[in-house]
Amino acid sequence: MPLLPRELLNKRYRIVNLLAEGPYGAVYRAWDQVGKRDVAIKEYLDPSPEIQRLFRAEASRLASNKHPQLPTVNDHFCLEDVGQYLISDYVDGINLQALLNEYGPLPSDLIVEWLQSASVPLTYLHEKKQLHLNIKPANIRLTPTGDVFLVDTGLPGLGVSLGASGYAAPEQQTQGSVTIASDIYSLGATLYTLLTGKVPPDALHRESGLKDLIPAREMNPDVEPYLSIVANRAMDLRPDVRYESAADFARALERPTGRSTAFFDQPRRTEPGLNPVAPPRLPEKKRKQIEQRTIIALAAALLLVIGVIIGVGLASQTPAAGEAQVAVTATLRSQIIAALTAITTVT
């Protein structure tokens, strides 16, 4: 049974709301009454002794990670006959999936900036011999101050991170040998989705021949050719063909200059007879509209964060104030959506 708002967990964590739910448990936002801060709680509903042993080992390993772009793991515990709980910092802001849902494909220069930034904490994990195994737009968060966080590192040692369909490499889904290349595949799939607005076909469907990967540039003609090539290579079904590291992937996102430009600016596969040409750019008016909407979305996220912070502060004082928080947040969200709709109509 899911934890309920205002329920007190382990005599310390006051549940604010459910963030996500899956086959292995759920993720909650909560208020740490001792540390006086927002936290995220990952719940794993398996109280068996063997899972408890694995959980403690994995949680301790995650708690050792110290990087400014990764949520810090602050606590972990097991409740008898219930399950295991992992407590980490809650990252305020908005995730890339939410931006994509609201505005469709985003400007490529912003996508490049975000994914290059997300590659930094991923490189840190890889250097510590750890894998993320759940990279997707929803797990890359932008804070109101413009920082990029990589969230939801999962607990792959428990077998609870098989990846999301479309983002997981084939070897990850078949419980084969997962490596750094598996995370590179997910980075490529994330790039593809942000460029096209469409999740790529499931890797196993591609491997079996049921579906083909249509190049990003064919899905969206505004995609620069070199980015389409980067996405394709990162999502190659053969791990040894993908980029060797997250840092290599990040470098590949830099737009080529000089002599190398001609190589990357090859025409699309559907135009075999043409000479290489410079990629078309979005009309200036359309580009400004998209950038304006992205900025508005981030501003909206900031307003929501402020509203929730105020609400949580009140909720920690009295139960009635917790109900007020929900009402205030809902009202604020409605006002922001209305404003965004009005702006979209005008532009």
Q: If we measure between CA atoms, which residue out of 163, 157, 134, 160 comes closest to residue 53? A: 157
Residues 270 and 295 in one domain: no
What pLDDT, on a 0 to 100 scale, did the predictor assign at position 265? 36
Residues 127 and 188 in one domain: yes
- Intervals of the chain under pLDDT 70: 153-163, 258-347
Q: How many CB atoms lie within 10 A of CB 18?
A: 15
Q: Mind spelling out the 3-state secondary structure of the chain? A: CCCCCCCEECCCEEEEEEEEEECCEEEEEEEECCCCEEEEEEEECCCCHHHHHHHHHHHHHHHCCCCCCCCCEEEEEEECCCEEEEEEECCCCEEHHHHHHHHCCCCHHHHHHHHHHHHHHHHHHHHCCCCCCCCCHHHEEECCCCCEEECCCCCHHHCCCCCCCCCCCHHHHCCCCCCHHHHHHHHHHHHHHHHHCCCCCCHHHHHCCCCCCCCHHHHCCCCCHHHHHHHHHHCCCCHHHCCCCHHHHHHHCCCCCCCHHHHHCCCCCCCCCCCCCCCCCCCHHHHHHHHHHHHHHHHHHHHHHHHHHHHHHHHCCCHHHHHHHHHHHHHHHHHHHHHHHHHHHHC
Alpha carbon 87 to chain centroid, angstroms: 19
Residues 195 and 99 in one domain: yes
CB–CB of 115/187 below 8 Å? yes
Dmax over Cα atoms in the chain, in whole Å? 71
Residues 184 and 224 in one domain: yes
What pLDDT, on a 0 to 100 scale, did the predictor assign at position 190? 98
Residues 51 and 34 in one domain: yes
Residues 84 and 98 in one domain: no
CB–CB of 195/223 below 8 Å? yes
Which of 41, 58, 89 lies at the terminal end of a domain, its last residue? 89
What pLDDT, on a 0 to 100 scale, did the predictor assign at position 312? 43
CB–CB of 39/18 below 8 Å? no
Residue 2: inside a domain: no
Which of 89, 121, 141 lies at the terminal end of a domain, its last residue? 89
Which of 70, 89, 108 lies at the terminal end of a domain, its last residue? 89
Residue 293: inside a domain: yes
What pLDDT, on a 0 to 100 scale, did the predictor assign at position 170? 93
Residue 262: inside a domain: yes
Backbone CA torsion sign across 160, 234, 150, 294: negative
Residues 16 and 127 in one domain: no
Residues 100 and 168 in one domain: yes
Residues 260 and 295 in one domain: no
Residues 180 and 229 in one domain: yes
Burial of 321 (0-12, 13-18, 19+ CB in 10 A): middle
User: Which residues partner with 41 through β-bridges?
Assistant: 28, 87
Q: Supply the CATH number for residue 62's domain.
A: 3.30.200.20
pTM: 0.73
Amino acid at 115: L
Residue 199: inside a domain: yes
Residue 257: inside a domain: yes
Residues 248 and 222 in one domain: yes
What pLDDT, on a 0 to 100 scale, did the predictor assign at position 109? 95
Residue 191: inside a domain: yes
- State which residues form the domain around 34: 8-89
Residues 274 and 330 in one domain: no
Domain count along the chain = 3
Residue 35: inside a domain: yes
Structure tokens given for 171:
């070897």
Backbone CA torsion sign across 101, 103, 108, 111: negative
Residue 3: inside a domain: no
User: Which residues partner with 148 through β-bridges?
Assistant: 142
Q: Supply the CATH number for residue 267's domain.
A: 1.10.510.10
